[in-house]
């Protein structure tokens, strides 16, 4: 390693990142074990940075409530965003940050073909949340999914060795991140509402006659079901496109990516199947079910993907929306 980060113990960063992914995402942690060692460690390091940014943005601890002391001293969203940007830019410059999660990004910048625009696209998602931005249209919702998850998919592809010039494969990696985020949106409607957020498009809610701020009221549950189905259909379109890109990866990488796709797709399918009861409790995938989905991913990785159309809005189109 070069610069100040040369003094950082990579093995310690990897160990801390492993603990982070085990605490923060059981689904992603399960899929990550299928990667070869080098890819697996880099995936953990990337997750640690993303998790730390997310926790700073929401003043949480691995997606859960922060300690009482932190909750009593909430900082303005713009201050939290400034902290994320400062630590991220220091890590990208090769400086130690005194945070293992941000130092993890610094290590990745030296080991993998990550670029500044890739990182900035992820930071733009935190900026949207800091501004309390809400999607008005379907395109807005997909733009949000792009910044908070699709752009992470692009970084994932880069740490798996996909070069920055392979635009089509990076596009399809982005598509998988978008599919994942759509699954999160439909699963977390109730939790997001409790936090004062809604990521379903305003136009969809208007069409369903669901007033602003009323999305989780019991008498609107049945009206919400078609909107969830619509989001799940979008997720399936993006996931199918992503599977074509996964076919270009090395076998173990392909297997891990398809396992993650199966697990997140299963979450969306469960929410869709439960209809108005989807939010009686938080939908999750059992260990036994995960094992079956991992086995199915192995079969899928061996036989190759089915043909699939490209989504109407993919990475470059969604990135362009952010500039308009």
Residue partners of 320: CB distance under 8 A and separation at least 6: none
Which pLDDT value is given to residue 44? 97
Q: What are phi and psi of 60, to 5 degrees?
A: -125, 180
For 156-183, the pLDDT digits (tens) are 999 999 998 999 999 999 999 999 999 9
Q: Token pair for residue 188?
A: 């977390």
Is 80 exceeded by the pLDDT of residue 236? yes
Q: Token pair for residue 239?
A: 């996931």
How far, in Å, CA of 272 to CA of 125, rounded?
26
For 100-153, the pLDDT digits (tens) are 999 999 999 999 999 999 999 999 999 998 888 999 999 999 999 999 999 999
CB 180 within 8 A of CB 264: yes
Is 80 exceeded by the pLDDT of residue 307? yes
Dihedral sign, CA of 98, 100, 105, 111?
A: positive
For 238-284, the pLDDT digits (tens) are 999 999 999 999 999 999 999 999 999 999 999 999 999 999 999 98
> Quick one: what percent of the chain has pLDDT higher than 90?
76
When the pLDDT of each residue in the chain is averaged and rounded to a whole number, the result is 91
Is 70 exceeded by the pLDDT of residue 66? no
């Amino acid at each position: 390693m070069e610069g100040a980060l040369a003094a950082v113990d990579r093995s310690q960063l990897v160990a801390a990142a492993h603990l982070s992914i085990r605490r923060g995402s059981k689904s992603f942690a399960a899929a990550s074990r299928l990667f070869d060692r080098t890819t697996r460690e880099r995936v953990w390091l990337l997750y640690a940075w993303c998790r730390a940014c997310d926790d700073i943005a929401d003043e949480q601890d691995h997606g859960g409530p922060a300690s009482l002391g932190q909750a009593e001293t909430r900082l303005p969203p713009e201050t939290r965003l400034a902290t994320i940007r400062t630590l991220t830019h220091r890590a990208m410059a090769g400086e130690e940050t005194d945070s293992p999660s941000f130092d993890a990004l610094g290590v990745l910048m030296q080991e993998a073909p990550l670029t500044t625009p890739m990182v900035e696209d992820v930071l733009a998602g935190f900026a949207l949340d800091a501004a309390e931005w809400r999607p008005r249209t379907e395109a807005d919702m997909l733009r949000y999914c792009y910044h908070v998850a699709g752009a992470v998919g692009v970084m994932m592809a880069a740490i798996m060795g996909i070069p920055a010039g392979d635009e089509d494969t990076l596009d399809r990696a982005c598509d998988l991140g978008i599919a994942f985020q759509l699954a999160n949106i439909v699963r977390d409607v109730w939790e997001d509402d409790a936090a004062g957020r809604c990521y379903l498009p305003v136009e969809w809610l208007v069409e369903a006659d669901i007033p602003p701020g009323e999305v989780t009221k019991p008498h609107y549950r049945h009206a919400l079901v078609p909107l969830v189905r619509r989001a799940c259909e979008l997720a399936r379109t993006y996931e199918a496109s992503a599977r074509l890109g996964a076919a270009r990866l090395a076998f173990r990488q392909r297997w891990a990516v398809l396992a993650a796709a199966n697990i997140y797709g299963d979450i969306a399918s469960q929410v869709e199947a439960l209809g108005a009861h989807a939010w009686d409790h938080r939908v999750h995938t059992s260990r036994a079910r995960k094992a079956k989905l991992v086995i199915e991913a192995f079969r899928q990785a061996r036989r190759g993907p089915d043909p699939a159309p490209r989504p109407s809005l993919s990475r470059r189109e969604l990135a362009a929306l952010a500039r308009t």
